[in-house]
Structure 1
Amino acid sequence: MSRSSDRSARNRLGVVPDAGAWCAIGRIPEPPRDVHQAAGGGPLRPAFLRPLGLLGAVLVAPFMPIAMLFTLLASGEEALKRLLSTKEERARARAEDLDIDRRDKAIAEQGLDSTFDGDWNKAAGQFLLRWYSHSSHHQRFVVLTEGRIVLAAPPKRVSVRREDRMRVVAEIPAGAAVVEDPLPAHDNRKLRIRFTDGSWLMLTTEEQRSEVHMHLMRQPRAARSGASDV
């Protein structure tokens, strides 16, 4: 976790974090109308960017060709490096590519590209129905702290200073759910909130192998295997 994130968690959220990471959730499927209405009929999508954010995109647009040129040059440089690399480096690159293929295959086989388990009546589905009612921002700062899982975000979607504006938008007691890395054998950006009734939500972290991933990796093997059995 960055120093600014740690400081925000302590000062703004009032928690002492064990680990934290900015995460996004996948597209929320359309729920049955009666289930949605019973949960309050809240929004199922994040808010659009404010005009200021759109203005920033417009201002950046003229520079896109230059950025694309640098990208092409970087790609060419990478290709040249691969061509001139040693046998050991080429073998390492092939191993990394193979690991990525295995990771992507595991994601597809385990359904980790789904937003949740699919049962709207269980804990994960009910939590998901209220996801954007708490905040219209497209991300959540997920904090693991003693006794609970804390989710924070700005009240509304912002393009800058998200950490300065975030507040607690939801909490899950540790006895109700756990956060787990569903692919511990691979570098990945997947995290899963698994509730005690077996339902789950899938999150995608901004960073590959985030601070939360590293925290979970440091836990005793028994604790990790126990979390998977919840």
Structure 2
Amino acid sequence: MAKRKVRRRARKILGADPAALVWCELARPIPPPPAQVHRAAGSKRLKPGRHWLLYAGAVLFFFVVIPMMLIDKLGDRLERRPAGRRAPHPRHEPEPGSSSSSGSGLPDTASPPDTASPSSPPAPGRDRQGRRRPGDPAHGLFDGDWERTAGRLLLHWYGHSPNPQRLVMLTGDGICVAASPRRRLSPTKAADFHAVAQFSPAEARIEAEAGQPRGFGTFVLHFPDGSWLELGRLSGPEDADHFLRTVST
């Protein structure tokens, strides 16, 4: 459940208590837009920012941990190295009269069965390589048109904050999307967010089903130009349940 300071901040931005709010993320990574579209939008970031500790950990692993592992393995090999070369074992010759597979004319062992199974058809919404088909309405992130409202919102998604999480707030006046400037945040405590997009009831509506499994709930933003955007990874079970119940009524 969001803390009081989060709700106080929401009230300050909206001018009233929100009917429901929830922290959420994009259901899937942003697909790469055409180069000219990306440039026209200011070449904004299309991936979340990484914390500096992640890069420090990667440097430590590659330049300290891996060399130590290699040195340790080399030391073990040198310790197990034999003092001299052993004589080769004498070749085993079959005794006279003994049965041998080479002289029987029969194969020694049965050939292994062919375990290759026929190629199964691709899953719905995927191609033969298992990749998502762009613009597929059942499995896509958005409608696929970068010139419409949802596409333009995606192009500026990480331009407002490197953190993937956004706070969606509902009021009688419409929908407000807010973001925190931090790279890392606690959704129940973050109170430094600011509004990045506001939509009136005529400009956007939300579609969702109540009672979705916790941790797997999603909802869809629909816009009048026919574009749509799917959001998921809802944070806070109580906030998520209340949000989904509110938008599904």
Indicate whether the TM-score tops 0.5: yes
Partner amino acid, structure 2, of 1:116: F
Counterparts in 2 of 1:50 and 1:167: CA distance versus 1, 3 Å: farther
Matches within 5 A, 1:56-67: none
Partner amino acid, structure 2, of 1:193: L
Is the deviation greater in 111-120 or in 142-151?
111-120
Partner amino acid, structure 2, of 1:45: K
Aligned-pair CA distance for 1:113: 4.1
Counterparts in 2 of 1:22 and 1:160: CA distance versus 1, 3 Å: closer
Secondary structure of the residue aligned to 1:169 is strand
Contact conserved, 2:210 with 2:245, CA < 8 A, in 1?
Answer: no
Aligned mates of 2:174, 2:13 — CA distance in 1: 17
Is the deviation greater in 186-195 or in 6-15?
6-15
| Matching of residue 157 in structure 1 with residue 158 in structure 2 | no
Q: Percent identity?
A: 34
Contact conserved, 1:50 with 1:157, CA < 8 A, in 2?
Answer: no
| Matching of residue 200 in structure 1 with residue 228 in structure 2 | yes
Secondary structure of the residue aligned to 1:164 is coil
Q: Give the unaligned 5+ runs of structure 2.
A: 61-123, 125-131
Counterparts in 2 of 1:41 and 1:15: CA distance versus 1, 3 Å: farther
Q: Find the counterpart in structure 2 of residue 7 from structure 1.
A: 8
CA offsets per residue over residues 67-95 of structure 1, 9 Å max, x none?
A: xxxxxxxxxxxxxxxxxxxxxxxxxxxxx
Aligned mates of 1:28, 1:12 — CA distance in 2: 28
Aligned mates of 1:119, 1:214 — CA distance in 2: 30
Aligned counterpart in structure 1 of residue 164 of structure 2, from 118, 138, 141: 138
CA offsets per residue over residues 95-120 of structure 1, 9 Å max, x none?
A: xxxxxxxxxx9xx9x84542111111
Q: Find the counterpart in structure 1 of residue 201 from structure 2.
A: 174
Aligned mates of 1:53, 1:11 — CA distance in 2: 36
Of structures 1 and 2, the larger Rg is shown by: 2
Matches within 5 A, 1:181-220: 181=208, 183-184=209-210, 186-187=212-213, 188-204=216-232, 205-207=234-236, 209-217=240-248, 219=249
Aligned-pair CA distance for 1:164: 2.1
Counterparts in 2 of 1:198 and 1:54: CA distance versus 1, 3 Å: farther
Counterparts in 2 of 1:112 and 1:152: CA distance versus 1, 3 Å: farther
User: RMSD over aligned Cα, in angstroms?
Assistant: 3.0
Contact conserved, 1:124 with 1:200, CA < 8 A, in 2?
Answer: yes
Partner amino acid, structure 2, of 1:178: R
**Structure with higher helix content:** 1
Q: Find the counterpart in structure 1 of residue 34 from structure 2.
A: 32
Matches within 5 A, 1:91-106: none
Secondary structure of the residue aligned to 1:141 is strand
Secondary structure of the residue aligned to 2:159 is helix
Aligned mates of 1:153, 1:16 — CA distance in 2: 18
Partner amino acid, structure 1, of 2:180: P
Aligned mates of 1:166, 1:46 — CA distance in 2: 17
CA offsets per residue over residues 45-66 of structure 1, 9 Å max, x none?
A: 11112439988xx9xxxxxxxx
Aligned mates of 2:169, 2:54 — CA distance in 1: 29
Partner amino acid, structure 2, of 1:40: G
Aligned-pair CA distance for 1:201: 0.6
